[in-house]
Every structure is written in structure tokens, then in C-alpha cells.
Amino acid sequence: LDELVKPQLLLLDPVMTQQDTFLGQIPVKIYSYTVPVYLMKQPSRISKDELPFSLILVQDIESPFLQEFPVDDPTKAMDSWFPGYSWIPVAYPCGERMQHVGWKYVNKDGDFFYGVVVKVDPTRADGFHVATFGTLKRQRRATAIRT
């Protein structure tokens, strides 16, 4: 999964966040770049579990295998960790399952970026590994719950 994140596509400048889900931001050395890692949680209005996780942002993901799972209710997708952008869960195949690796964020003009779920790992040369946020069934539309 780590091949999803290309160093040249990392977003290095901070992006405005939704305050009630933002837990903090830490600078982390990933490859040779200092990258903001976003510490987030699910909002209680979307998921009662309010699960915490870490994201890095990338301009694009260059993989023909990445699959989008549009949500059933676009108005709920506008309740985004990044105001002005709606979210679409994205997943990557792993055997018969699709591993939920993050979200695509799209604004009304069609501009987009991806938030990739990561675990920071200072013992690794690249500084991180892509984590998963559960699995999604192939050919299934995602619900508005970000899990």
C-alpha cells in the first residue's frame, strides 16, 4: 500500500480543517520532506465511535486499482474534515477485499486532493506506512459513515 504515496505528490502546506474533528497537526519527516500529519477523529454526528486516525494529504494517487465509493447522501459528504470539500471514500484491492485507505476530497470547482490514512513510523526510512480504515465490499456504494 505504501506505493500509493509518491514523494513528489505530497501536499506540504497546511489545509484548513473542521475544528470539531481536528485533534492537532504534527510535522513529520516523510521521505526527505517535512509533511503535516493531520490528527483527526470522526465527528459524533457521523459515527458514535469518533475513531481517531492520522492523515497525510497528496495531490493525486497514481494507481489504476484505487476505487472510489461515492456516498449515498451527497449532503452528508459535505460535512468534511476539510471545509469546502466533499469526501468520497477510496479503497485499494487486497485479495477479495477492498482496503479503505482514505478519502478523495473534491470542491465545487472539481479541484481535489486525497487524504491517506497513515501510521507514522520513525524507524522506517520513509517515515510512515499506509494504514487501513477497514474494508469496503467491491461494487458497493459507501454509506455516509466514514468507517
Under 8 Å between Cβ of 15 and 112: no
SS3 of residue 39 by DSSP: strand
Under 8 Å between Cβ of 118 and 55: yes
Q: What is the pLDDT of residue 25?
A: 94
pTM score, two decimals?
A: 0.84
Distances (CA, A) of 33 to 7, 8, 51, 61, 74: 8, 9, 28, 18, 34
Which residue did the predictor score with more confidence, 140 or 94?
A: 94
Cα distance between the two ends of the chain: 18
Q: Given pLDDT bands bounded at 50, 70 and 90, which one contains residue 133?
A: low
Per residue in 7-25, pLDDT (tens digit) is: 899 999 999 999 999 999 9
Report whether pLDDT(86) > 90: yes
C-alpha cell at 64: 489504476
Q: Given pLDDT bands bounded at 50, 70 and 90, which one contains residue 113?
A: very high
